[in-house]
A and B are shown apart, each in its own frame.
Chain A
Amino acid sequence: MIKAHGITKIYGSHTVLNGTDFTAERKKITYILGTSGGGKSTLLKILIGALKPDAGNVIFEETDITQLDRSELDPFRKKIGMLFQHGALLNSLTVGENISLPIREHTRLDENIIKIMVKMKLELVGLRDFEDLYPAQLSGGMQKRVALARALALDPEVVFFDEPTSGLDPIVAAVITKLIADLNKIQGITCIVVSHAVEEAMRIADKIVILYLGKVLVQGTPQEIRSSLDPLVQQFITGSPDGPIAFHTSRKDFREDLLVE
Chain B
Amino acid sequence: MKKFVGYLGRTFIRFLQDLSSVYYLFQETIFQAVILFTNRKKLEEARLLTYVNEIGTQSLPLVLTVASLLGIAMTVLISFQLKDVGGYSYIPGLVAVGIFREMGPLITALIVTGRVGAAFTARIGTMKVSEEILALETMAINPVRFLVVQRFIGLLCSLPALTTLANFTAVFGGFLFGSTRLGIRPDTYVRETLDVLTFTDIFSGMMKALVFAVIIVMIGCYRGFIVEGGAEEVGKATMVSVVSSTLSIIVFDTVMTGAFYG
A binding-site residues for B, Cβ under 8 Å: 45, 48, 50, 70, 73-74, 77-78, 80, 82, 84-86, 88-91, 101-102, 104-106, 108, 150
Across the interface, do A108 and B137 meet the contact criterion of CB distance under 8 Å? no
Residue of B nearest to A50 (CB): B134
Query: Would B141 and A88 count as touching, CB distance under 8 A?
Result: no
Supply 4 further A-B pairs (C-beta < 8 A) apart from A70-B137, A84-B135, A90-B136: A45-B134, A89-B135, A91-B127, A91-B130
Most buried by B among A74, A86, A101, A105: A105
CB-CB under 8 A for A77 and B132, given A104-B45, A108-B41: no
Contact with A106, one of B45, B135, B140 (Cβ below 8 angstroms): B140
From known contacts A104-B45, A108-B41, infer whether A84 and B141 are also in contact, taking CB-CB under 8 Å: no
B134 contacts across to A, CB distance below 8 A: 45, 50, 84, 88
Contacts A104-B45, A108-B41: A90 and B138 contacting too (C-beta < 8 A)? no
Contacts of B135 in A (CB 8 A): 82, 84, 88-90
- Whether, in the assembled complex, B85 has its beta carbon less than 8 Å from a beta carbon of chain A, the answer is no
The answer to whether the Cβ of B251 comes within 8 Å of any Cβ in the partner chain is no
Q: A88-B132, A88-B134, A91-B132 are in contact. Are A102 and B141 (CB under 8 A)?
A: yes
Q: What is the size category of the interface that chain B forms with chain A?
A: 10 to 19
Known: A86-B131, A89-B132. A105 touches B137 (CB 8 A): no
Q: How far is the CA of A108 from the CA of B39 in the complex (A)?
A: 12
> Residues of A contacting B141 with CB < 8 Å?
101-102, 105
Interface code B118-160, partner A: CB below 8 Å = 1, 0 otherwise? 0000000001001110111111110000000000000000000
Check A78 against B140 for contact (C-beta < 8 Å): yes
Contact between A77 and B139, CB atoms less than 8 A apart: yes
* 29 A-B contacts (beta carbon < 8 Å): A50-B138, A73-B140, A77-B137, A77-B138, A77-B139, A77-B140, A78-B140, A82-B135, A82-B138, A84-B135, A85-B131, A86-B131, A88-B131, A88-B134, A89-B132, A89-B135, A90-B127, A90-B135, A90-B136, A91-B130, A101-B139, A101-B141, A102-B139, A102-B141, A104-B45, A105-B139, A105-B140, A108-B41, A150-B139
Q: Classify the interface of chain B: helix, strand, loop or mixed.
A: helix
Residues in A with CB closer than 8 Å to B136 are: 90
The smallest beta-carbon distance between A191 and chain B, in angstroms, is: 16
* Residues in B whose Cβ lies below 8 Å from that of A77: 137-140
Distance from B221 Cβ to chain A, minimum over Cβ atoms (Å): 15
The complex places the Cα of A26 from the Cα of B232 at a distance, in Å, of: 42
Closest CB in chain A relative to B40 CB, distance in Å: 11
Q: How far is the CB of B150 from chain A (nearest CB, A)?
A: 12
User: Closest residue to B136 on the A side, CB-wise?
Assistant: A90
A45 to B134, CA, bound (A): 9
Chain B neighbourhood of A50, CB < 8 A: 134, 137-138
User: Hey, which chain B residues are within 8 Å of A106, CB to CB?
Assistant: 140
CB distance from A70 to the nearest CB of B (A): 8
Q: What's the least CB distance linking A196 to chain B, in Å?
A: 19
- Which residues from chain A contact B138 at a C-beta distance below 8 Å? 48, 50, 77, 80, 82
Q: In the docked arrangement, what's the CA distance between A102 and B41, Å?
A: 14
